[in-house]
Chains A and B, each alone.
Chain A
Amino acid sequence: MSKSESYIGFGPQRAFLLEISALLLALCLVMVLAAGAGAVAIPGREVLSILWNRLGLTQASSYWPASHEVILLQIRFPRVLGAALVGAALSCAGALFQGLLRNPMADPFIIGTSGGAALGGALGVLLAARVSLLGFGAVPALAFLGALGAMVVVYRLSRIGGQTPVVNLLLAGFAMSVILSYAMSLILILNDRLQLNTRVVYAWLLGGIAVSRWSQVGVIALLVLSGTALSCAFGRSLNALSLGDETAQQLGIHVERHRAAIIAVGAVLTAAAVSGGGLIGFVGLIVPHFLRLLFGPNHTRLLPLSALGGATFLVLADLISRIAIRPTELPVGILTAFIGGPAFLFLLRRTRREYRF
């Protein structure tokens, strides 16, 4: 980043456009690569030709087997897009919560969302996958509700005298997470006694892209894209909020209103991510961190960059999870932890920029 051009706020800024373009290019490359890879390998050129044709940009005669087109359209594209959206949502929500809570350890799961989602998902299994809403079974739909519900409760509990101190939010969130996760364990144990199938829940808890239909892609895309756009609108507030409530207030920001709005946006993003990919750890934590180290902490840039970076990272992780131990699929959560963890530790040691919190 060219520091001399840095300023806070959107603007026709070359350094930022360059960063955005670079990440966008990386995302496109990874998506084409991921769409081509799998049990049936499809060359990148073919993937692009099929895509252009379907989008009506070209009228090329098909030199590819029809099965390839079906595989891409029915299986790979929704999956890859789903991974990109889930990654973008997790990472954008991570950047939001880190800025809001002035805390580097915050991620979409810190304020109780994880527990709420897990509990909702577990209940979904108990209720059996009979209920279906826009292509989502009961598991992701209830996870979504659980995530939102937990966040609302935590936010309400941590409000004291019209204010929501950050420490209260973190502590209430943590307590809520613990309560909910043990409630979930209890349900799993009872479930076991009742001889019901708990494998679905376990697999889902490990994290895996569950987006397989276009209707699902549509719903998630709507939530994630609007959530990301809203997040970016709050970039400057987040910069001010990260200097502390009082300073933000002295800068003319309605701290309470902005915080409630940011939490709501974060909850929507997290819930969308959980519905599409279960519990995938580390993405919301490491991607914003990594990008902050590279491009600085200015949220007006960090949020869009995080969305793109998170999408790229998760598409790549999902790709590896599909092909690493074929024909079995590795839960992507394991992969994000295995790639993300060491990468993060390496970064933490290598970085010369000081982190003070």
Chain B
Amino acid sequence: MSTIELRELTFSYNGRPVLERVSCAVGARERVALLGANGAGKTTLLKLIGGTLRPTCGSVIIAGTPLESLSRRDVAQRIATVPQVFSVPFAFSVREIVELGRTPHLRTFAGLSTADRHAVEQALHLTGTQELSHRIFNELSGGERQRVVIAMALAQEPEILLLDEPTQHLDLARQAEILDIVSDLNQSKGLTVLAAIHDLNLAARYFGRLVFLHNGSITREGSPSQVLRSDLLRKVYGSHIQVLHPSGQSLPIVLPLSESELRGGQVSDRAGDTKEK
């Protein structure tokens, strides 16, 4: 049984279709990247799975149970989301933010139990944010913040982790750091991971399966080397994207071509040991 199953999922916003009959299945402990141009519907799809949006048609099935038959609390105990934008209006400390991840497990008036506290410690530990726990969230750097938001999601002790552009606005090293954490969680904690991501190279390196959304439906899915092909990329992004295969590396490297390169038409010959497929 798949952990996430999408059946003919359709979502329209003000009569304009955003997603049309999307069907897809994500297995337990799988790590899937959701790719596609801006506006392809990646965020919408994640919100439909996370239950913050309701589909116009079709359904989301979580481990055999339709999402609409689960309470908000049940959903929050199973699915955690790292949103694209996470803004904190007040000077909450990192620990306070991470503790909020326990919300779906707490009774209305109860405080944190030993188990709750343990989950919080664990989340801080797994994301390497223990030393930050007394700091004010808003005073942290972008990479530190993103780790804290992941820690908050982990404190929910979910089975499924949804990430919306987790590497956005981060430098190269921080991007790798975040995705390393996510991969570790997927392997050590058995989390099913679905992430919307823009960087195709990172997606190829950190995710076993890539799913391409285009015009509201899934155009292609498969392993990085199956999917990352220039014809598909041209179709999806509407621009010339070169797929290089450096010798000695199993994964391709994807590069957008600049206007001048396109006109010169000499790029593919420049790197001697690469060939375009």
Task: Give the contact-size bracket for chain A.
Answer: 35 or more
Shortest beta-carbon distance, A10 to chain B, in Å?
5
Give complex CA distance A292, B71 in Å. Answer: 33
Q: Which of A142-150, A243-251, A268-276 contacts B (4 or more CB under 8 A)?
A: A243-251
Interface positions of B from 86 to 111, Cβ below 8 Å from A: 86-93, 95-97, 99-104, 106, 108-111
* Given A243-B86, A244-B87, A354-B136, residue A251 in contact with residue B100 (CB < 8 A): yes
User: Are A246 and B106 in contact, with the CB atoms below 8 A?
Assistant: no
Residues of B near A6 (CB, < 8 A) are: 93, 95-96
Residues of B near A240 (CB, < 8 A) are: 100, 103
Which residue on A lies nearest to B92, using beta carbons? A297
Residues of A near B92 (CB, < 8 A) are: 239, 296-298
* Given A7-B99, A240-B103, residue A252 in contact with residue B111 (CB < 8 A): no
Interface positions of A from 103 to 152, Cβ below 8 Å from B: 103-104
Residues of B near A350 (CB, < 8 A) are: none
* Given A6-B96, A7-B96, A296-B91, residue A247 in contact with residue B86 (CB < 8 A): yes
User: Are A252 and B72 in contact, with the CB atoms below 8 A?
Assistant: yes
Pick the contact of B109 from A4, A10, A254, A354 — CB < 8 Å? A10
* Given A243-B88, A249-B72, residue A354 in contact with residue B139 (CB < 8 A): yes
* Given A8-B100, A296-B93, residue A252 in contact with residue B77 (CB < 8 A): yes
Give complex CA distance A353, B109 in Å. Answer: 29
User: Are B110 and A9 in contact, with the CB atoms below 8 A?
Assistant: yes
Interface positions of A from 251 to 299, Cβ below 8 Å from B: 251-254, 292, 296-298
A168 beta carbon closer than 8 Å to chain B:
no
Shortest beta-carbon distance, A174 to chain B, in Å?
19
User: Are A292 and B90 in contact, with the CB atoms below 8 A?
Assistant: yes
Shortest beta-carbon distance, A241 to chain B, in Å?
10
B51 beta carbon closer than 8 Å to chain A:
yes
User: Are A252 and B104 in contact, with the CB atoms below 8 A?
Assistant: yes
Which residue on B lies nearest to A297, using beta carbons? B90
User: Are A250 and B80 in contact, with the CB atoms below 8 A?
Assistant: yes
A102 beta carbon closer than 8 Å to chain B:
yes
Pick the contact of B89 from A8, A102, A296 — CB < 8 Å? A102
Shortest beta-carbon distance, A340 to chain B, in Å?
20
User: Are A249 and B93 in contact, with the CB atoms below 8 A?
Assistant: no
Give complex CA distance A353, B112 in Å. Answer: 27
Pick the contact of B103 from A244, A252, A297 — CB < 8 Å? A252
* Given A254-B72, A357-B89, residue A236 in contact with residue B96 (CB < 8 A): no
A355 beta carbon closer than 8 Å to chain B:
yes
User: Are B91 and A253 in contact, with the CB atoms below 8 A?
Assistant: no
Shortest beta-carbon distance, A44 to chain B, in Å?
38
Give complex CA distance A6, B99 in Å. Answer: 10
Most buried by B among A4, A233, A246, A353: A246
User: Are A9 and B50 in contact, with the CB atoms below 8 A?
Assistant: no
A349 beta carbon closer than 8 Å to chain B:
no
Give complex CA distance A289, B131 in Å. Answer: 28
Give complex CA distance A244, B134 in Å. Answer: 22
B75 beta carbon closer than 8 Å to chain A:
yes
Which residue on A lies nearest to B97, using beta carbons? A243
Interface positions of A from 1 to 56, Cβ below 8 Å from B: 3-4, 6-11
Residues of A near B91 (CB, < 8 A) are: 292, 296-297, 353-355
A199 beta carbon closer than 8 Å to chain B:
no
B129 beta carbon closer than 8 Å to chain A:
no
Pick the contact of B83 from A247, A298, A354 — CB < 8 Å? A247
A164 beta carbon closer than 8 Å to chain B:
no
Most buried by A among B52, B71, B90: B90
Task: List the interface of chain B (C-beta within 8 A of A).
Answer: 47, 50-52, 71-77, 79-81, 83, 86-93, 95-97, 99-104, 106, 108-112, 117, 120, 134, 136, 138-139, 156
Show 17 A/B contacts (Cβ-Cβ < 8 Å), sorted by A. Answer: A4-B134, A6-B95, A10-B110, A233-B109, A240-B100, A242-B90, A249-B72, A250-B52, A252-B75, A252-B103, A253-B103, A254-B72, A296-B93, A297-B90, A354-B139, A356-B88, A357-B89
Task: List the interface of chain A (C-beta within 8 A of B).
Answer: 3-4, 6-11, 99, 102-104, 233, 236, 239-240, 242-244, 246-247, 249-254, 292, 296-298, 353-357
10 smallest beta-carbon distances between A and B, as pairs? A252-B76, A297-B90, A252-B104, A11-B111, A9-B111, A251-B103, A252-B73, A102-B89, A8-B99, A3-B134
Further pairs besides A104-B89, A252-B104, A356-B87: 4, Cβ < 8 Å: A7-B99, A251-B101, A251-B103, A353-B136
